[in-house]
Amino acid sequence: MAPRKIDITINDQKVTVLEDSMLIKAVLGAGIALPTLCYHKDLTPNGTCRLCLCEIEIRGRKRLVTACNYPVREEMTVWTKSERVLKHRKVLAQMYLGRWPNVPVVQDVARRCGVTDGSAFASDLTDPNPKACILCGHCVKACEEFIQERILDFAGRGILRHLTMPFGETDPHCIGCTSCAFVCPTGAIQVVEELNHPVDPNLIRRHGMKVNAEMATLDKVQCRMREVGTANIVEVMDKYDLLPVNNYKFGSHPETYKVDSKVLKERYFTQNSPDGCWFGCSMSCAKAVDGYELKTGPYKGQRVTVDGPEYETVGACTNMGCFDPDFIVEFNFYCDTYGIDVISAGTGIAFVMECFEAGVITKADTGGLDLSFGACDSVLELLHQMSRGEGFGVEVGQGIRWLKEKWIREGRGDAQFIRDVGMEVKGLEFSEYVSKESLAQQAGYSMAVKGPQHDEAWLIFMDMVNNQIPSFEDKAEALYYFPLWRTWFGLHGLCKIVWNDVAPADNKKYPPQQAAKIPEHVDNYFKFYEGMTGEKLDEEKMLAQSARVHNLQRLMSVMFGFGRREDDVPPYRAIGPVTAEEYLSRAERYDGQLKSVLGLDPEAMTLDEKRAALRAHREAQYQKVMDAAYARRGWTRDGIPTKARLRELGIDLPELLALAAD
Amino acid sequence: MIRVNDLHDVPWREGLTVQDVLDQLKYSYALITVSIGEDVIEPEHYADTTVPDGCAMTVFHLAHGG
């Protein structure tokens, strides 16, 4: 429900605010200055310094409140400079100046309160240090809210109150993120040594703190990465018909509610703090489940900690038709324990399930296992077999490409069907997004150097939802920029999640093509690079850095036999509906496309004719997008980097030229 | 009729709000920017901003994935 709007009057100025927003935001938003010492716009306020006192009147009753932490819940009149307020502020300012007479920020705020002499409050507590700690608490809150640690806190009561670490000892959990130093208004906390000697640490710090502040303030109303991690998009993908179900046949399921982020949070996630993914990360999206009792396998009956589940883990399970959250956690655990990639396992087993249901294989092949979609117990047994090197699990563990080739060689079922539904490219199983309605994503997956891993490009929303890249050239441009940008993260050991799983509040000011890149966040990364190396980076240089490696990777793929046009073509299940069941499940959409795009009359066509026409069209479209993408990348029609491109990139080494095309 | 992202047609009715359009299209993603013509509509106004008949609405989704 949208928050209620409330009309208030501040110094005779009418202002409309959202219910429960803090009064200080309304005052500052109205352009009215307020003196503060303990308020920081990105940290939770707690009314410590009292300087932001305002006088309010609600239904005839007047009182003083601290604006920083007073939530507006009803109409009121506010005075920021009433006689009563000014009198209190003056005394407070004198007290602060008396205790910390030489701290510049205290002198400044006192001056704003009309005070230049605090001697009336000088005492044994007076600290002449211009960098004295003024007990504002910024560092305590930054440690907790930016980094989700509690290294710093106050100890002692009254005049004995002081800042400290637990038991007054240096806390080994402090990772030196320097958030505390960054927010300290007096310099009481200073960075004394930069261990890895960045050229300009303050540049890194300034932009890093912006990221920290966004995580503390925006994430909770955006993707909730801190709360539920990547699992936040389970229910989103289901709504957009992108959640893989039954080997990518469908994009949604009525039982998704059983495995969405709400269920995971309420019943499973116990660890909601930074873990070993990247200690000190302010996003802290990694989640874990403690004390889960295993139901199967060699550790049956033991309570374990499970690292996850992530979105892809849930998607891998829905892809197998499995909507049991306990199963998802157990599948996650055993994949991790056995060193099996959860995506390859889920997508691979989903393929096996479809072939089982289609009669390509039977229980005679599976060792008696019923491998229908949703057979959670059988899936776990397959995992255990893979780890033991026994039974049908050994074959499933070889992957989709091996299984396809085996079953086609043995003449099992329809070879075309097997090829169409085996969701792998270059031998790697697809990750967990339905790409059927996004031509750009089909190419983003299938043209990826390593195989269909969405890490190279995730263009689904830009393409099928925003309709932002309608032409082949638009798609080619996106297929040029985003794989190179995303390759750049890997090259520099940086996580991409703070690029686009949180967005600056004002990202919407950019036109769509720019907004999609999230310019302010891209600039953060460029500044991290510049801060470390001293070298300025811009889009052109960044693309060149990545393109050198990306083209090298492509040539290595050529060398290994995976880098030609034929290797970039996906199975038809990634492009369109393979079976009659699939077509009929989205008949309105597909019939509509036959009509609007191809000018055909679906009413006058049989189902087989409609499927054939749609397939011919979509496969032709895919070939065209490959042509456009290759041209943009400086590759031949066969997908090979040209010698000219290597020279342009400055990587025209003899060994690479030998692999490149003329 | 409302045209969304130059892709979807949503039937117009008296009192149709931005939130109604988002609900109908199942646009539940958090990182979106909604515009009616050139005007950006802030999230707190989705429920009380009515959509004029015949207008072009943009619901820009930021990329996700990874």
Mean pLDDT computed over A284-288: 88
Delimit the domains of chain A by residue range.
Answer: 5-81, 225-429, 475-491+538-657
More confident of the two residues A279 and A429: A429
State residue A286's pLDDT score. Answer: 87
State residue A2's pLDDT score. Answer: 65
The whole-chain average pLDDT of chain A stands at 94
Contact list, A2 vs chain B (CB under 8 Å):
19, 43-48
Mean pLDDT computed over A605-617: 97
State residue A150's pLDDT score. Answer: 87
CATH code assigned to A225-429: 1.10.569.10
State residue A61's pLDDT score. Answer: 96
Domains in chain B with CATH codes: 2-61 (3.10.20.30)
Confidence of residue A276 (pLDDT cuts 50, 70, 90): low
Residue A547 has pLDDT above 60, yes or no: yes
Q: Specify which residues A445 forms β-bridges with.
A: none
The CA distance from A439 to the nearest CA of chain B, in Å, is 15
Instruction: Decide if B7 and A468 are in contact by the 8 Å CB cutoff.
Output: no
ipTM of the complex: 0.93
Mean pLDDT computed over B18-33: 93
Q: If you count DSSP H runs as helices and E runs as strands, how many of each does chain A have, helices first?
A: 29, 11
**Tokens matching residue A305:** 């900690």
Residue of B nearest to A458 (CA): B65
Residue pair A600/A594 in contact by the 8 Å Cβ criterion: yes
SS (H, E, C) A471-520: CHHHHHHHHHHHHHHHHHHHHCCCCCHHHHCCCCCCHHHCCHHHHCCCHH
Name which of B26, B44, B65 is nearest A433 (Cβ-Cβ). B65
Q: pLDDT digit string (tens) for A303-352?
A: 999 998 999 999 999 999 999 999 999 999 999 999 999 999 999 999 99
| Residue among A521, A520, A518, A513 nearest A494 (CA) | A521
State residue A302's pLDDT score. Answer: 98
Task: For chain A, report the end-to-end CA distance as a whole number of angstroms.
Answer: 61
Contact list, B58 vs chain A (CB under 8 Å):
466, 512
Instruction: Decide if A503 and B62 are in contact by the 8 Å CB cutoff.
Output: yes
Cα dihedral A173, A176, A179, A184 in deg (nearest 10): 100
Confidence of residue A198 (pLDDT cuts 50, 70, 90): very high
Which residue shows structure tokens 């990772």? A175
Instruction: Decide if B31 and A515 are in contact by the 8 Å CB cutoff.
Output: no
**If residue A61 lies in a helix (H) or strand (E), which one and from where to where?**
strand A61-66
Query: Could you give the CA distance from residue A557 to residue A249 in angstroms, rounded to a whole number?
Result: 30
Mean pLDDT computed over A524-543: 96
Q: Tell the CATH topology of A5-81.
A: Ubiquitin-like (UB roll) (3.10.20)
Q: pLDDT digit string (tens) for A213-244?
A: 998 889 988 999 989 999 999 999 999 999 99
State residue A274's pLDDT score. Answer: 53
State residue A1's pLDDT score. Answer: 60
Query: Could you give the CA distance from residue A190 to residue A131 in angstroms, rounded to a whole number?
Result: 10
Instruction: Decide if A465 and B5 are in contact by the 8 Å CB cutoff.
Output: yes
State residue A273's pLDDT score. Answer: 58
Q: pLDDT digit string (tens) for A250-264?
A: 999 999 999 999 999
Strands B32-36 and B56-61: antiparallel
Which residue shows structure tokens 């490696």? A549
> What predicted TM-score, i.e. pTM, was given to this entire model?
0.89
